[in-house]
Amino acid sequence: MANPSILILAGDGIGPEVMAEVKKIIGWYDAKRGITFDVSEDLVGGCAYDKHGTPLHDDTMAKAQDVDCVLLGAVGGPKYDSLDFSVKPERGLLRLRKEMDLYSNLRPAQCFDALADFSSLKKEVVAGLDIVIVRELTSGVYFGEPRGIFTEGNERVGINTQRYTESEIARVARSAFELARRRNNKVCSMEKANVMESGILWRQVVQEIHDKEYPDVELSHMYADAGAMQLCRWPKQFDVIVTDNLFGDLLSDAAAMLTGSLGMLPSASLGAPMANGRPKALYEPVHGSAPDIAGQGKANPIACILSFAMALRYSFDLGEEATRLEQAVEKVLADGVRTADLMGPEGGVPVSTSAMGDAIIAAL
């Protein structure tokens, strides 16, 4: 049987640096555990634009459809700010999400014990925090038509369309309920049903799927503005949050920041099962391309490494190996190994991106 396959799209900014550490870990699994992946690499984002004039070449898209999963670093940078909307680095990422139909984006917001002091929130508010935001990733205002900038009379008008079908809502709701069953069995769904009809439909469908298929899971509904408040006030009240593409973008970023562990947080974007039973999948850190520190060996590779751990769990059914890798990360943090972004006010000497990767491999 062929080895499981991974397409690495390291992207821009710190993407290649943090991905280099993941490659070391993939090498370790091959050498030490006899778990071998067929790894190929390609371009996405600004670097793809530089080479091909498009942030995602059709060949790369075809490869992504063909592998067991994609690992992505980060895209974007100031160099590309003035590009036309249609070829901006982000469009490469959005095309992958849409064409692979990765509708369920799992964004854990987890506070690492060793870093609880690091949050702008009080320690008691975040210590031990472990919630997951399930964000719908292939629809909503990100992709709805009509969209564009038009001229009406003598002025410009900017238009986007928020659009959700029943089946789009149902499938991401199912994925949230499934996840909750493996966790603390609680789902909170967020929308603006008091203002938006798409939110009313969202609430109805989530409720229907719950009542019919997951009556054992505790379900609540919250307006997204109240949700933003409650995430800031007492995030531990949540287990799994399910929400749409745009609300999920804001709420998951706020939640990630709250943990104080932004450079630490992975994400998984999952679609329907392929012929081999594995879900279509893309894994990427929550952080961006951080052009200000790119190329300096300062970046924290942990979010990208933990994204690979999610790949082990969700794509390759290697849950125990995933846990092993996560525990190695925790051990290294507990030992006080820190990249620059993790330096507290006490100071100390930060390690480089590559030394952090080495420490994690040593802990494995």
Binding site: residue ranges? Answer: 77-90, 97, 107, 135, 225, 249, 253, 288-300
Of the residues 1, 34, 152, 336, which one makes contact with a second copy according to CB under 8 A: 152
C-alpha–C-alpha distance, residues 262 and 269, integer Å: 18
- Give the interface segment with a second copy, choosing from 11-19, 39-47, 121-129, 177-185 (CB under 8 A): 121-129
What is the residue-wise DSSP string for 4-67? PEEEEEEESTTHHHHHHHHHHHHHHHHHHH----EEEEE--THHHHHHHSSSS-HHHHHHHHHS
Which strands sit side by side in the sheet containing 69-74, from one edge to the other? 38-42, 5-11, 69-74, 279-285, 266-273, 104-110, 130-136, 240-243, 186-191, 218-223
118 binds, among ligand IPM, a second copy, none (CB under 5 to 8 A by kind): none
- Which of ligand IPM, a second copy, none does residue 82 bind (CB under 5 to 8 Å by kind)? none
Which of 97-105, 147-155, 293-301, 321-329 is the region at the interface with a second copy (rule: CB under 8 A)? 147-155
Is the Cβ of residue 4 or residue 77 nearer to ligand IPM in the bound state? 77
165-194 residues near a second copy, rule: CB under 8 A: 165-167, 192, 194
Structural contact between residues 106 and 268, judged by C-beta atoms closer than 8 angstroms: yes
**293: three-class secondary structure by DSSP:** helix
Options 142, 164, 214, 283, the catalytic residue: 142
225 is catalytic: yes
Residue 196: contacted member of a second copy, ligand IPM, none (CB under 5 to 8 Å, by partner type):
a second copy
List the one residue from 226, 272, 334, 362 that touches a second copy (CB under 8 A).
Answer: 226
Q: Which is nearer to ligand IPM, 92 or 235 (CB)?
A: 92
> Nearest distance from residue 259's CB to a second copy, in Å?
10
Q: What is the CA radius of gyration of the chain?
A: 20
Smallest Cα–Cα separation from 114: which of 356, 344, 355?
A: 344
Pairing of strands 104-110, 266-273: antiparallel
Sequence ranges of the binding site for substrate: 97, 107, 135, 225
In angstroms, the CA 20 to CA 29 distance is 15
CA 338 to chain centre: 22
Q: Catalytic residue, from 38, 117, 211, 225: name it.
A: 225
How far apart are alpha carbons 270 and 323 in whole angstroms? 19
Cβ atoms 189, 173 nearer than 8 A: yes
The residue from 32, 33, 51, 147 that contacts a second copy (CB under 8 A) is 147
Residue 101 as a binder of a second copy (CB under 8 A): the answer is no
Query: Is residue 343 part of the contact set for a second copy (CB under 8 A)?
Result: no
Kindly state the helix (H) or strand (E) to which residue 211 belongs, with its residue range. helix 197-213
Nearest alpha-carbon partner for 73 in 231, 345, 307: 307
- How many C-beta atoms surround the C-beta of residue 225 within 10 A? 13
The answer to the question of residue 340 lying near a second copy (CB under 8 A) is no
CB of 189 to a second copy, least distance (A): 14
Cα–Cα distance for residue pair 246/256, rounded to 1 Å: 16
Give the β-pairing of 240-243 and 38-42. unpaired
Q: Which of the stretches 27-35, 48-56, 103-111, 226-234 binds a second copy when contact is defined by CB under 8 A?
A: 226-234
Taking Cα atoms as reference points, which of 108, 130, 124, 165 lies closest to residue 307? 108
Amino acid at 3: N
Work out how close the CB of 251 gets to a second copy at its nearest, in angstroms, rounded to a whole number. 8
Residue 223: active-site member: no
Site residues (CB under 6 A) for ligand IPM? Answer: 90, 93-94, 194-195, 225, 249
CB nearer ligand IPM, residue 4 or residue 199: 199
Closest approach of Cβ 151 to a second copy, in Å? 9
Active site residue 142: yes
Residue of 80, 79, 93, 88 whose CA lies nearest to 54: 88
Is 253 a catalytic site residue?
A: yes
Q: Annotated active-site positions, please? A: 142, 192, 225, 249, 253
Where on the chain is the footprint of a second copy (CB under 8 A)?
Answer: 76, 85, 88, 90, 94, 120-122, 125, 141-142, 144, 147-149, 152, 155-167, 192, 194-202, 205, 224-226, 228-234, 246-247, 249-251, 253-254, 256-258, 262
